[in-house]
Each structure stands twice: as C-alpha cells, then as structure tokens.
Amino acid sequence: MRSWARVYGYLMVALWLTAVSAHAQQPQRFSAILTPVSLDFPNTTLGSTSDVQTIVVNNTGTISGSIGGFAVTGDFLIAANTCKATLAPGTGCTISIAFRPTTSGTRAETFSMMSDSGPLTAALHGTGTTVATGTLSATSLSFSPTLLNSTSAAQTLTIRNDGDVPLTLISASILSGSFAVTNGCGTTLAAHSACALQVTFSPVSVGPQTGVLIVRDALGAQTVTLTGTGLAPAGVSLAPAAFAFGPVGVGVASEPQTFTLTNNGAFPLVISNIGLTGDFGLTSSANACSTVTPLPVGASCKLVVALIPQAAGARSGSLLLASNASNSPQTAALSGTGVDFTFSASGTTTRSIASGGTATFAAVLTPILTMPQSVSLACTSSPANAKCTISPASTDLNGQQTITITLRTGLSANAVRVPATIAVGFLLSFALAWNRKRRIVALLTLFILIGEITGCGAGRQIPDNYSDGGTNGGGTTLVTPPGNYPVVVTATAAGLSRGVTFNVVVQ
C-alpha cells in the first residue's frame, strides 16, 4: 500500500516538472493589433472637418513592445493620439482620425504605424462634397409691351444647383408690380440639376412698370428686377380699372393714385364730364384730362385721385368720365379704409414734483372702429435733464388700451468724451509734425482742445443717455429747473395724429 502511494507521489511530481518545463519553453512575444481595420467617414463638405473616428491599438502579447511612426495619407488627419512609445501587455491606446476633404469625390487612403510585431495598416474611406448653389440665370427680366388686363407670354428663370448636395427651402414670390411667378422647382433641388420659374406680366395701368421678384433658399435671398409696359387697347380706355388705397386717417389725404385715359379710337375724344363719388377727390397734375380741350387720337391724359376719408371704416366710390366715345362712360372702382380713434387723458393731467422726482400719467387710446392698424406713441416735449418714457411704445387699434407716461427729472448725462473726429485730427497732425518743434505745438494744441471740451461739455446734455444720480460724473449737479412744463404725448396711425398735454410742475 505504501509503495503505491510513493509511486503516485513520484508521478505527480514528474507531471508538475513537465508542465513547468513546457511553460518555460513557450516563447515570450509582443503582438500589436488594430481595431477596426477600416474607417468609413460620412460625406463631408469641402473645407470642413468631419467628426473624429477612433482606431484602438491593443497589445495581445505577453511582453511590452515599441510602437510609433503613426501616419495617414490624403485628406485625412490625426486629430488625437494617446499612444506612447511603449505598449505594455494587455493594454491599448487610441488614434483619433478626421476627414478634411480639399476636392470633391471619394477618397481611399491609409492609416499606418510601426510596431515591434511589424507594420500595421487600416483603410480610410470618405467622400468630399461641394456645397449647394442657387445660381439664377438672370438678375432682370424685361417683358414686351402688353395690353391692359391681359397676360404676357411667360419668361423662364432658371435656378441651377452645381453642388454635391440638395438645395433646400426654395420659394419664389413677387414683392411688387403687376407680375406673377409660378414655382416649378418645389422646395428642394437635387444636386447637379436645374429647375425653372415661370414669370408673367399682367399690366393694370398704362405706361412703363417695374417690379421685384425675390427667390429664397437655404443660402439666402436673391432679387430679380422686372420691367414691362402696359398698352391701352383699341378705342378709349381708363386704367387701372380699380384701385384700393388702403388705410388712411380720417380727414387726411392719402398718397395720390394716377389713372390714365387713353384715346386709341378713330377721332378726337371730347370729355363732357369728370366725376367722383365717395370720399375721393382730384388733385392737380401735369397732362390732366380736360373737358375743354379734346384728346387727340393716340394721346393720353392723367387723372390723379386721393382718398380723404370722412369717417372710419370701409370707403368706396368711383371715378367716371363721360365722353363722345362709343363705350362711354369710362369708370374705375375706388376703395379704402378710414382710420379714426380718440386719445385722451385718464385721471389727473397735472403733477407737482421736485427735481429728481418722477411724474406718472395715464391716457386712453380708443379706436372708433377696431382694426389691425399699428399706432406709434411719442413724447414730443419734456423739460431739461428729464426723460419721458411711454408704455407700451407702440400698439394697434384692435381694442381700447391704457397708455402709461412716465417723466423722470433730475437725470444726469454721461461725461462728455473727446469727439472721434477731433482725436483723429490730432493724431494726423501729430503724425505730420515731423520735427520736434512741430510736435511740441501739436501737443499744446491737444491740451487746449481737451480743456475746451471739458469746460464746454461739463453742463452739456447728451440726449437719451441718462442715469440716475444727479451728477454728470464731473461733480456738477444736473437738475431740472423749477417751472411749469407741458409734456405733449402723441398717438399716430395711418397719417392721423392726436395728442394729449400733461403738465409737470417742478418745484
């Protein structure tokens, strides 16, 4: 029994010695590997840099080894590198790579490095792209003379995208003039393609006309100048056939509108009557139509009309000319909107304060007829060394509103600075004073200027640049002198102004 145990012990020792010997005979090695071995970058615009992607260098061997010689080819760059000269077993480090294309097209390049286990490489792929373009085929379009109330043949304006990416957010609209545009591009234009806008002219008045087309996209806005000439048809015609004057203050004359009477008939036109209905009137003009002198064949005359609304709300009327023409009378429909409101004090209109105090007043703005018409508010007078503020600064006629007026007195202006023009003038004169004697004269001149500015500006008020405190930074107290001061606040809408006067007594 003991012999068998002894034999078993010998066998275990032998096996252990064999294992130790085998392990001692295994080679110790350094093994560096890259993960991943290929990087694919997204499309990147020329001149910009992509987000970084990372390659990991791992040592899967049993001993440390040397690494180095990190390099990339083409339009790729190493943005960061955590690797040292030696890499321990079971550890790793990272290489961050970015793509910065210089020309468009695909790139197939390489990352490479050296190690004690041999050279290592990884494939790098990316595509450089050019930005979208929105090139217009023309910056102006000119239309042939076109009869009134008809539409010209369409002209084509092309938008071209020579970039490698789509052009987005495309729109087209007419800013002014009797023109129209049809957008055949939609909102997106594919890379390396073109699309068309169709523009037409539909004159409503006689003579040369202009307009503006605006084309917008993700890159910005471009304008196209549009021109054309409206022609009167055969016979006798009045153009435009209708006109809307928009909102105008009650009792205020609108901007005038010119109507053209054209005689393309076979004989002179004798006008027997020129009439207007509604709140509209004629103003004087050159080449005015006359009931005294016939209008020759092929000639035209002008009628200039203005709206002077007598009440708030919609105003309508017509221009009428009776003549010996077969289609007499010639008429034009007129329309507009009268704007009116009241503006009155709410509460006290007089306050007594000491210099440095604040007076607050209230006024009520009430539309005669509610409408989305803007109203501007302003103080047109205030005492010295005081500032008037209005809340809100502007409003509309959608409903009655209370306006708060605050007058702050005894404010101080910031210290006066040397004007830039004087400073520049001195520097120039000093630079031109090339000898020592002239420079001394220039310096003396500067000192005199500073003294004059400081002395003259010590009590000077700089508008709209106030601060509390009662001094101007130079030790001189700025006060609002005692007295009775009217403060006039005006509200203006559609050319109509109404005011309220408040009184501030400074004691």
Going by their DSSP bridges, the two strands 135-136 and 313-323 should be labelled as: unpaired
Distance CA 470, CA 456 (A): 19
Classify residue 18 as exposed, middle or buried by CB count within 10 Å of its CB (0-12, 13-18, 19+): exposed
R_g (Cα) of the chain, nearest Å: 43
Q: What's 32-129's CATH class?
A: mainly beta
Q: What is the pLDDT of residue 476?
A: 56
Domain 135-231 grouped into CATH 2.60.40.10: yes
Place of tokens 């029994």: 1
Full pLDDT tens readout for the chain, 507 residues: 556 566 566 667 566 555 545 444 557 899 999 999 999 999 999 989 999 999 999 999 999 999 999 999 999 999 999 999 999 999 999 999 999 999 999 999 999 999 999 999 999 999 999 999 999 999 999 999 999 989 999 999 999 999 999 999 999 999 999 999 999 999 999 999 999 999 999 999 999 999 999 999 999 999 999 999 999 988 999 999 999 999 999 999 999 999 999 999 889 999 999 999 999 999 988 889 999 999 999 999 999 999 999 999 999 999 999 999 989 999 999 999 999 999 999 999 999 999 999 999 999 999 999 999 999 999 988 888 999 999 999 999 999 999 999 999 988 654 333 444 444 444 444 444 444 444 444 444 444 444 444 433 333 333 444 444 444 444 456 889 999 999 999 999 999 999 999 999 999
> What pLDDT score does 233 carry?
87
Strand, coil or helix: what is 439?
A: helix
Residue-level pLDDT at 14? 61
Q: Kindly give the pairing relationship between strand 120-129 and strand 38-40.
A: parallel
* Residue 223 backbone phi and psi in degrees, to 5: -115, 150
Structure tokens given for 417 = 């600075």
User: Could you tell me the CA-to-CA distances from 108 to 54, 124, 290, 399, 411 in Å, in that order?
Assistant: 17, 6, 83, 68, 71
DSSP 3-state percent helix, strand, coil across the chain (nearest 5): 10, 50, 40
Specify the pLDDT at position 380.
86
Tokens representing residue 79 in the block: 């943005």
Q: At what angle do helices 436-457 and 420-432 cross, to 10 degrees?
A: 170
Fold agreement between 32-129 and 135-231: yes
In this prediction, residue 387 carries a pLDDT of 94
Quick one: pLDDT at residue 30?
96
- What does the alpha-carbon distance between residue 253 and residue 279 come to, in Å, rounded to a whole number? 10
Q: Are strands 193-201 and 235-239 parallel, antiparallel or unpaired?
A: unpaired
Q: What pLDDT is recorded for position 16?
A: 55
Question: Can you tell me which residue has the tokens 């509390």?
Answer: 468
Identify the pLDDT of residue 28: 85
Tell me the H-state helices in 132-196.
Answer: none
Q: So what's the pLDDT on residue 213?
A: 98
CATH superfamily, domain at 235-339? Immunoglobulins (2.60.40.10)
What are the domain boundaries of the chain? 32-129, 135-231, 235-339, 343-413+464-506, 420-457
Choose which CATH entry (1.10.1060.10, 2.40.10.10, 2.60.40.2310, 3.40.50.980) describes domain 343-413+464-506: 2.60.40.2310
